[in-house]
C-alpha cells in the first residue's frame, strides 16, 4: 500500500508539541490531526481517551466488559474508530498490524481478569514486532482488592503483576489511582511513542477511577530529540573501515523507513545485500546486488555465496540477527567485524557475541545518510559485485489434477497479488510463512508482514482485519487451516466490512509440526485435523468465498477474490507431499538438543 514510509512527526497543538505517527499513504493534511473540538472531558475515562486522540490514536480494537463500561463509552464516543472484536488476542494482533501499516499508535482495550489475560500473547507480539500500542484495561478498585471481587484484577492477582510492570511485554505500565497522575501518564506515553523501534504501554484503570472528575490534560510532552544519532567522527571511522572492499549489508525490519538512502549506499558501494524475513522489499528482491533472504524460509544460496566470498565487514541495519533471521549460522558472519546500527541499545552482541561488533545507536536512515555524506559523491571505493542478474527459478506449470502444490499457489500469488495489486500481504505462522518468505518477491517495503520471531499462530488470521480497516484497502492473509481454527476474526470483518482476504492452505493437518517431527526422526503424532470446509464456515458467519482443488482453478479464483470488496475466504486444497523451505529451523532445533533425545514411536 505504501513504499516510502515517513518518520514519526511532531505536531503543535494548542501551543504544545505532541507526537503523532503518520499514515504513510496520506502525508498531508492528516499529518496534523488537530482533533475536532471534543466536549470538555469531565471524567478520568474521557480525559484519558482525549489524551489518546491527541497522541495520534485513530483506531481501537478490543472486547468490552462491565468493569470498563465508562471507559468503553468514552472510547466509542470519541473520534477513535472503534472495533469491537471476538477475542482480545485478535484485537491485539489487529492493533499491531494497524499500527505497523499506518505508523500510528493504536489502542487495545479489554475488561478486567480474563479480558486482560487474553491480551497477553498479543502484547508480547506487539513488543517483538515493534508496534506502537497503548493497551488500556479495567481493574479492581483499591477498596475492593483482596475481597474476591468479580474478575479481581490487581498487580498481585494477575500473573504475578507481569502486565502491571514494565519489562517483558511492556515498555511502560501504570495503574491510574488518582486523576492527578494523568498529566504524567500523557507525557510518558508521548515520549514512548516517539521511539522508532516500537512502544507498548499498559494503562490500568480501576473501576472507581473511570468516572472520577478530572480535567483535560493541558499539555502533552514533546518526544523530539529521541531519535538517536552517533557522532560524525564515528561515521567517518566506519567509512574508512569499509573502504577497499565491498561490504555485505544485512537488512532488518528496523531499516524499513530508510529504503531510499540504503539503495543509494548499496549502488554506490557495490555492496551485496541480504535481509531478514521481515525486511523483504526494503531492497528490491530482483536487484542484481540482492543475495536473498536469511533465516526461516530464506535462501541457502546466501550462505553459499558468503562462504565462497566472505566479506571483511558486514553492515547490519536494523536487525537483531536472532534465531529466525540467522539461525546463528557462522556462515553469515564477516571475517573482521559487524558494524551494527540500531535504535535499540540492547541488541548489540546478542546473536553473535564472538564476532567483533562496532555498535552504533542510531536511527538507520539518519546513519546511512551520514555514511553517504562521509563517502562523498564522487567516491566509489568498491567495484560493483554480483552485477549479473540472478537466474530465476523456472516457472511452475499447472498440472491437470490433484491437490495444489504450494509452489504453484505462491507463483500465482506473486502474479496476481504481489505484482497485480498494492495489497498488504501477511503470512501466518506455519508452512505459509516459509513458502511465502521463500517464493514471494517484493520490490518495495510496506507490502509484506510476517512475525517470524514471536511466531504466534492467529497473528495473520486476525491481524489482517486490523491492516485492512486501518489502511482502508485490501489486506491478504496467507494462512494454514490449523491457524484458522485456532482463531480468526472473519465475523468481525463482516461486522465492519473489512476488505480482508484469507487464502487458506488447507491440508487438514498441522503440517509444519508433522513434517518437522518426521525430519527429526519422530513419528508425527496426532497432527491430522478433521477436514474443514472454510467456504461453508465463512458463509455460516456472514462472509463468502470460493474453494479451489486443482491448480488450473487457482489463478482465476485469486483474480476474482482480489476484485471482491469485503471479507472473502479462498480455500485451497494443498498437496501435503511437498516439503517447505523450513529445514534450517529443524536443524536449529536438533543443534539445541533434540538430536540427543530418544525417539518415542
Ligand atoms: C499460538 C501458537 N501455538 C502453537 C504454535 C506452534 N505451531 C507452529 S506451526 C503449527 C501448525 C500450523 O498448522 P496450520 O495452521 O494448519 O499450517 P500448516 O503448517 O499445516 O500449513 C503449530 C502448532 C505456534 N506457533 N503458535
29 cis-preceded (ω within 30 degrees of 0): yes
Q: Is 456 in the pocket of ligand 1 (CB under 6 A)?
A: yes
CA–centroid distance for 95 within its chain: 10
**121 CA closest ligand 1 atom index:** 1
Give the per-residue pLDDT at 402.
85
Residue 40 confidence (pLDDT):
64
571, 535 Cβ separation under 8 angstroms: yes
For residue 434, report the distance from its CA to the centre of ligand 1, in Å: 12
Low-confidence ranges of the chain (pLDDT < 50): 1-35, 37, 39, 379, 381-382, 384-387, 600-601
Task: Enter the DSSP assignment of 213.
Answer: B
| Per-residue pLDDT tens digits for 110-145 | 999 999 999 999 999 999 999 999 999 999 998 888
The secondary structure of 524-578 as a DSSP string is P-S-B-----HHHHHHHTT-EEEEE-SHHHHHHHHHHHHH--S-EEEEEEB-TTS
**Is residue 244 classed exposed, middle or buried when 0-12, 13-18 and 19+ CB atoms within 10 A define those classes?**
exposed
**Which residue intervals of 69-202 are DSSP H helices?**
69-76, 88-102, 114-118, 120-129, 182-193
Q: Residue 166: its pLDDT value, please? A: 72
pLDDT at 31: 30
Gap from CA of 170 to ligand 1 centroid (Å): 25
Residue whose C-alpha cell is 557475541:
353
pTM of the model: 0.91
How many angstroms separate the alpha carbon of residue 485 from the centre of ligand 1? 10
User: Which residues make Cβ contacts (< 8 Å) with residue 391, sequence separation at least 6?
Assistant: none
Cα separation, 369 vs 241, in Å, equals 17
Residue 19, C-beta contacts closer than 8 angstroms, at least 6 positions apart = 8, 10, 55, 56, 190, 191, 193, 194, 220, 222, 223
Helix, coil or strand: residue 281: coil
* Residue 7: predicted pLDDT: 35
DSSP 414-433: IIIIITT---EEEE-TTHHH
Q: Of all atoms in ligand 1, which is nearest to the CA of residue 512?
A: 19
- Residue 428 Cα to ligand 1 midpoint, Å, equals 9
Dist CA 436 CA 115 (whole Å): 33
Instruction: Write the residue with the smallest CA distance to atom 13 of ligand 1.
Output: 510
In residues, how long is the chain?
601
Rounded Cα distance between 74 and 77, Å, is: 5
Nearest atom, ligand 1, residue 479 CA: 15
> Grid coordinates representing 260?
531510499
Residue showing cell 536472532: 322
Mention every residue, 6+ apart, whose C-beta is less than 8 A from residue 46: 39, 74, 78, 214
Our CA angle for 475, 101, 442, nearest 5°, is 70
Amino acid at each position: 500500500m505504501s513504499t516510502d514510509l515517513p518518520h514519526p512527526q511532531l505536531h503543535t497543538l494548542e501551543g504544545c508539541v505532541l507526537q503523532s505517527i503518520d499514515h504513510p499513504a496520506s502525508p498531508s493534511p492528516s499529518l496534523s490531526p488537530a482533533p475536532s473540538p471534543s466536549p470538555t472531558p469531565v471524567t478520568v475515562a474521557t480525559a484519558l481517551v482525549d489524551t489518546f486522540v491527541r497522541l495520534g490514536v485513530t483506531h481501537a480494537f478490543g472486547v468490552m466488559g462491565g468493569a470498563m463500561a465508562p471507559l468503553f463509552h468514552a472510547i466509542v464516543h470519541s473520534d477513535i474508530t472503534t472495533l469491537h472484536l471476538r477475542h482480545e488476542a485478535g484485537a491485539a494482533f489487529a492493533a499491531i498490524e494497524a499500527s505497523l501499516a499506518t505508523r500510528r499508535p493504536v489502542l487495545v482495550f479489554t475488561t478486567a481478569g480474563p479480558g486482560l489475560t487474553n491480551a497477553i500473547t498479543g502484547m508480547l507480539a506487539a513488543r517483538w514486532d515493534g508496534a506502537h500500542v497503548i493497551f488500556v484495561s479495567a481493574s479492581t478498585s483499591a477498596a475492593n482488592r483482596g475481597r474476591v471481587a468479580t474478575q479481581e484484577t490487581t498487580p498481585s492477582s494477575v500473573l504475578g503483576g507481569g502486565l502491571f510492570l514494565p519489562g517483558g511485554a511492556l515498555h511502560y505500565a501504570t495503574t491510574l489511582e488518582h486523576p492527578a497522575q494523568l498529566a504524567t501518564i500523557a507525557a510518558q506515553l508521548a515520549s514512548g511513542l516517539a521511539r522508532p523501534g516500537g512502544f507498548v504501554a499498559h494503562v490500568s484503570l480501576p473501576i472507581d477511577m473511570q468516572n472520577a472528575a478530572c480535567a483535560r490534560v493541558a499539555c502533552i510532552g514533546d518526544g523530539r530529540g529521541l531519535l538517536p544519532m552517533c557522532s560524525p567522527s564515528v561515521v567517518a571511522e566506519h567509512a574508512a573501515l569499509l573502504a577497499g572492499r565491498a561490504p555485505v549489508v544485512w537488512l532488518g525490519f528496523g531499516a524499513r523507513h530508510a529504503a531510499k538512502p540504503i539503495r543509494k549506499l548499496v549502488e554506490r558501494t557495490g555492496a551485496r545485500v541480504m535481509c531478514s524475513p521481515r525486511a523483504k522489499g526494503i531492497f528490491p528482491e530482483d536487484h542484481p546486488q540482492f543475495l536473498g533472504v536469511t533465516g526461516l524460509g530464506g535462501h541457502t544460496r546466501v550462505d553459499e555465496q558468503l562462504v565462497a566470498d566472505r566479506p571483511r565487514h558486514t553492515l547490519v541495519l536494523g536487525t537483531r540477527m536472532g534465531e529466525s533471521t540467522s539461525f546463528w549460522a557462522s556462515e553469515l558472519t564477516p571475517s573482521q567485524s559487524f558494524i551494527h546500527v540500531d535504535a535499540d541499545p540492547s541488541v548489540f552482541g546478542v546473536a553473535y557475541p564472538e564476532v567483533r561488533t562496532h555498535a552504533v545507536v542510531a536511527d538507520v536512515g539518519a546513519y546511512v545518510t551520514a555514511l553517504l555524506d562521509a563517502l562523498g559523491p564522487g567516491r566509489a571505493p568498491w567495484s560493483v559485485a554480483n552485477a549479473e542478474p540472478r537466474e530465476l527459478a523456472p516457472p511452475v506449470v499447472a498440472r491437470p489434477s490433484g491437490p495444489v502444490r504450494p509452489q504453484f499457489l505462491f507463483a500465482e500469488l506473486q502474479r496476481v497479488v504481489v505484482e497485480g495489486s498494492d495489497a498488504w500481504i501477511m503470512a501466518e505462522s506455519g508452512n505459509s510463512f516459509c513458502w511465502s518468505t521463500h517464493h514471494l518477491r517484493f520490490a518495495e517495503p510496506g507490502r509484506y508482514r510476517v512475525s517470524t520471531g514471536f511466531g504466534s499462530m492467529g497473528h495473520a488470521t486476525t491481524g489482517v482485519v486490523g491492516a485492512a480497516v486501518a489502511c482502508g484497502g485490501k489486506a491478504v492473509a496467507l494462512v494454514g487451516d490449523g491457524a484458522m481454527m485456532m482463531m480468526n476474526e472473519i465475523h468481525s470483518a463482516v461486522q465492519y466490512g473489512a476488505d480482508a482476504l484469507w487464502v487458506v492452505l488447507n491440508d487438514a493437518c498441522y503440517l509444519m509440526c508433522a513434517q518437522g517431527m518426521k525430519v527429526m526422526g519422530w513419528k508425527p503424532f496426532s497432527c491430522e485435523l478433521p477436514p474443514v470446509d472454510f467456504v461453508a464456515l465463512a458463509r455460516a458467519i456472514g462472509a463468502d468465498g470460493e474453494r479451489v482443488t486443482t491448480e488450473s482453478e487457482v489463478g482465476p479464483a485469486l483474480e476474482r477474490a482480489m476484485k471482491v470488496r469485503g471479507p472473502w475466504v479462498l480455500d485451497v486444497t494443498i498437496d501435503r507431499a511437498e516439503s517447505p523451505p523450513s529445514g534450517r529451523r529443524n536443524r536449529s532445533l536438533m543443534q539445541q538438543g533434540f538430536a540427543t533425545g530418544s525417539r518415542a514411536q
